[in-house]
Chains A and B, each alone.
Chain A
Amino acid sequence: MKQLVLLLPLTACAMGGSMHQATIVGQCAADDAACSRRHPLQPLAIGSHFHPDVTAEISGSATPNLVLQSADSSVLAVEDGALVAKQAGASAVLISTEDGAVVDFQHLWVAPVTKVTLARRDGDRIGGAIGLAVGEDITLVPALWNNAQRLAGESDAEWRVSADGPIAILRDGSSDRRRLKARAPGTAKVTVTVAGIETSVDVEVVP
């Protein structure tokens, strides 16, 4: 029994790949709770990009230069180091050395988007209207879903505002995330479209 207890911490260290030697995680800031790319084990949304960060743990060796290859590029392609979700299905992503030896592989899933919601950067879901004072700002991130399943990946999002005056929509370098800056008192509806699916939120700006 004592030996079993001693083994528990070791089992918790297993890597996520099928051969337990490497893991694919998303490139994401440590404090960015709403970053959809933090969810590598969730299905990728069709049309989205996933920017992977590969970590390997091979006994007696530092991580060699690793390359990613897809087993089925019609489902999931590897383009310029990013995973691109093409159509619904599953595909193994092979993690190999430059000479082709497979160090590990992980099966990833791709699913269509059926719903889009909005969240703050801290991950808190937006469930109703937002109130801001002039000069304040809030950063919103679209979250992609397939029914109850959260989807991973970064998709191009189109942001529109019903009235130009109260709100300015600012880019922050991300393809989907935006910063809403309150400019003048009034109300506006902000609409976000991702993968052909819309969601909107009412914003009220007060003096």
Chain B
Amino acid sequence: MNRFAFLAVVALVAGCNPTLSAQSLAPPGRAARLDAVEGFWGIKSYKLELSRGIAIAVTCNYGGPCAKLHVTSDNPEIAEVRDASFGVLQPSAGPTYAPSNQTTAAAFVVIGKAPGTTKLHVKTSDGGRTIEVTIAPPPARAAQTTAAR
């Protein structure tokens, strides 16, 4: 019985953390991709691939925009995190087809500063998430000759 209770608690904890969504496009030839890492109990964590010099906007939801969102980077010299002011209302209470309330989206921006890997820690009043970040170097440029007219 205790084992079932333990598993139920684990399931609740694993399934009751915020979800993250990318809100911006990758520019041509560069990476800006956020993926959920699925485990047996649902989303375990997230992974983010970003090119150096590229930014991505991410929103946080937990039945509505996350409350008290705070994101930190283990190594800001590889991946920098900034609060974002995203002027979009999202349902925060009631069913999604007829919400009884709306709140401004909770968002942050991640900036690829230098090639390498690091972790971001997303904390909210309703739990947290970890994002494994890989910053890739920009693709090598084809040699280009200059010619006077």
Contacts and interface: CB of A to CB of B under 8 A. Distances in A.
Contacts of B145: 114
Contact of B149 (A18, A102, A116): A116
Of A58, A105, A116, A117, chain B has the most CB atoms within 10 Å of the CB of A105
B24 A18 contact: yes
A97 interface: yes
Contact of B55 (A92, A113, A116, A197): A92
A117 to B, nearest CB: 7
B148 interface: yes
Interface string B43-56: 00000000111110
Nearest to A196: B146
Contacts of A59: 87
Given A71-B112, A197-B146, A198-B149, A92 B53 contact: yes
Contacts of B109: 94, 102, 105
A39 B70 CA distance: 37
A18 B57 contact: yes
Of B54, B87, B146, B147, chain A has the most CB atoms within 10 Å of the CB of B87
B82 A107 contact: no
B3 interface: no
A94 B52 contact: no
Contacts of B86: 19, 21
B111 A113 contact: no
Contacts of B84: 19, 101-103
A175 interface: no
B2 interface: no
Interface stretch (A28-36, A83-91, A129-137): A83-91
A115 B148 CA distance: 6
Contacts of A105: 24, 55, 57, 109
Contact of A102 (B82, B141, B144): B82
A162 interface: no
Contacts of A116: 149
A197 B25 CA distance: 35
A100 interface: yes
B83 A90 contact: no
Interface string A63-83: 000000001100100000000
Contacts of B24: 18-19, 105
A158 to B, nearest CB: 13
B15 to A, nearest CB: 29
Nearest to A111: B144
Interface in B24-76: 24-25, 27, 29-30, 51-55, 57
A55 interface: no
Contact of A19 (B51, B57, B138): B57
Interface string A107-126: 10000111111000000000
Given A90-B53, A102-B55, 14 more contacts: A59-B87, A71-B55, A71-B112, A90-B54, A97-B85, A101-B82, A101-B85, A102-B85, A103-B85, A107-B55, A112-B144, A115-B147, A115-B149, A197-B148
18 contacts: A18-B55, A21-B86, A61-B87, A71-B111, A75-B53, A90-B27, A92-B54, A92-B55, A94-B55, A94-B109, A94-B111, A101-B85, A102-B84, A102-B85, A107-B30, A113-B146, A115-B147, A197-B147
